[in-house]
Amino acid sequence: MQWELPEFVRAVARDLLVAGHSCYLVGGAVRDGLLGRTPHDYDLATDAAPGVVAALFPGAVADDAAFGRVLASGVDVLTLRRESEYKDRRRPSRVTFSRSIRADLARRDFTMNAMAVDLRTSEVVDPFAGRRDLALGVLRAVGPPERRFREDALRVLRAVRLRAQLGLSYHPVLAAALTAAGEADLLRDLSAERVRDELTACLMAPGCGVALRDLQRHGLLRRVLPECLPTVGCSQTNPMHLYDVWEHSVRAVEAATPQAELRWAALLHDVAKPACRTVDVQGMTHFYGHETAGAGAAAAILRRLRFPEAFTRRVAALVRYHMFSYAAETKPGAARRLVLALGRDGVRGLLELRRADRAASRWGQGYGPEGERLLLHLCALDEAGERFELRDLAVDGRDVMEALALTPGPRVGEVLRTLHQMVLDERVENSREELLGAIREGFGAS
């Protein structure tokens, strides 16, 4: 087959070949090309030493030269290598540069990632039958999977992620090795950032539910998300639920729009239910306050995984407000308050979370009556182009001090915040005349 590569990749490959070096397309780009998918990135492998590669390309960055990696004109160029044992479950203790593409492929994780394309001849180099496994939809390790997992424990999560992304099945030996990895706690030394990135990729995959169930089935959930383990088997005996808390959460993730904050919120929205669970005299389960407790738990989980603080706050806010009530008599001021708390995008995310939550229960499809009312009010606010921040009041601190004969101090801010809330609740119009009247009437005697 013809390999259509971006021009910047072709240019690097051409320069390597013209200089008399071998050049191969390797890794995920080969796998994705055989699947008819557009690769997200391109890695090239060559027999040229890192110093030679760096000299060929002005401005090249030898950011990991000890392991044979040079960034040349935006392309990762890797010198062919062999590896010694891994002592930290992440990187080999020593590498030896090589001229053999087959030796280089032998160190890789899964057969479908252990293929290369010789860019001089367009020949596919496939010493471990990766092309066959790809056609069969089977994920199989290069060599014994236990050894691959001991070398780099992240490969355990990578296996789960690849299955979810590509719709694969595990080779039976690989599946057994995943369970053994969970029992042996191979993941304990992985950095929070590496776990975070693989879990997020799992949540964003088409088979996100498959990935989450795999984590639980193979004993990996307790290693990467132990806070979710109590939800497994936590029953919800009430008319609105069909599944235990874990399965409900997994189905909510599957139903959610593939956006990282939203899918993390769907996974964690009920994480505090086991801690808040009560059973009444009729045997019905209740989870009073789980949204508030869940917001704190979600924030703690995301901070442990080293997510950016802004991301953490947005997800925690979605969890905190996911049980919002919006009855028929609710005024648009309630939508304003939600916009203040979450932002417009946050409120739309909240509606999407409500839709996913309903889809994973007996409620059915859509936002539901309360969500539809909130959406209607939100759309009206969008059309009006209204702004709701404190600084948008038609009066300011000087007006308050003048009307009430106050000096600067906390009291001025308290009055402004009360006026702001009155405008949000539609008890007074946001006009200077109306607000000054409200100040004199409501605060003049205080």
**CA max distance for the chain:** 91
Identity of the amino acid at 441: E
Find where tokens 């229960």 sit.
361
- In the predicted structure, residue 68 carries a pLDDT above the cut 90: no
- In 10 A of CB 147, how many CB atoms? 13
Share of the chain above pLDDT 90, in %: 67
Lowest mean pLDDT among 45-54, 323-332, 405-414: 323-332
Among 61-70, 179-188, 295-304, the range with the most confident prediction by mean pLDDT is 295-304
* Average pLDDT for 24-51: 93
pLDDT of residue 446: 45
- Measured distance CA(410)–CA(412) in Å, rounded: 5
- In the predicted structure, residue 73 carries a pLDDT above the cut 80: yes
- Measured distance CA(391)–CA(418) in Å, rounded: 13
How do residues 123-143 score in pLDDT, each as one tens digit? 999 999 999 999 999 999 999
pLDDT of residue 86: 61
**Please, are residues 198 and 165 in contact by the beta-carbon 8 Å criterion?**
no
- In 10 A of CB 440, how many CB atoms? 12
Lowest mean pLDDT among 74-78, 209-213, 377-381, 429-433: 377-381
- Looking at the DSSP bridge assignments, the partners of residue 79 are 46
> What are the angstrom distances between the C-alpha of 368 and each of 114, 237, 331, 373, 384?
49, 21, 17, 9, 24
Non-local (6+) Cβ contacts of 274 within 8 A are: 230, 231, 234, 245
Give the mean pLDDT of the chain: 90
Find where tokens 């498959």 sit.
210
- Measured distance CA(416)–CA(390) in Å, rounded: 8
Per-residue pLDDT band at 445 (split at 50, 70, 90): very low
**Please, are residues 377 and 414 in contact by the beta-carbon 8 Å criterion?**
no
* Average pLDDT for 153-177: 97
Residue whose C-alpha is closest to residue 305's, from 406, 221, 199, 213: 199
Of residues 364 and 377, which shows the higher confidence score? 377
pLDDT of residue 204: 98
- In the predicted structure, residue 36 carries a pLDDT above the cut 50: yes
pLDDT of residue 94: 66
- Measured distance CA(153)–CA(227) in Å, rounded: 21
Identity of the amino acid at 159: A
How do residues 378-412 score in pLDDT, each as one tens digit? 787 776 666 566 777 889 999 999 999 899 998 99
Question: Quick one: tokens of 324?
Answer: 């919002």
Lowest mean pLDDT among 171-185, 235-249, 302-316: 235-249
Residue whose C-alpha is closest to residue 255's, from 168, 361, 169: 361
Per-residue pLDDT band at 338 (split at 50, 70, 90): confident
How do residues 261-280 score in pLDDT, each as one tens digit? 999 999 999 999 999 999 99
- In the predicted structure, residue 332 carries a pLDDT above the cut 70: yes
- Length of the chain (residues): 446
pLDDT of residue 390: 75
Find where tokens 């869940």 sit.
294
Q: Which residues of 343-359 are buried (b: 16+ CB within 10 A; e: fewer)?
A: eeebbbbbbbbbbbbbb
3-state secondary structure of 64: strand
* Average pLDDT for 342-360: 90
* Average pLDDT for 2-27: 93
Residue 178's H or E segment, with its range, is: helix 172-184
Name all domains of the chain by residue range, CATH numbers in brackets: 7-136 (3.30.460.10), 137-224 (1.10.110.30), 390-443 (1.10.246.80)
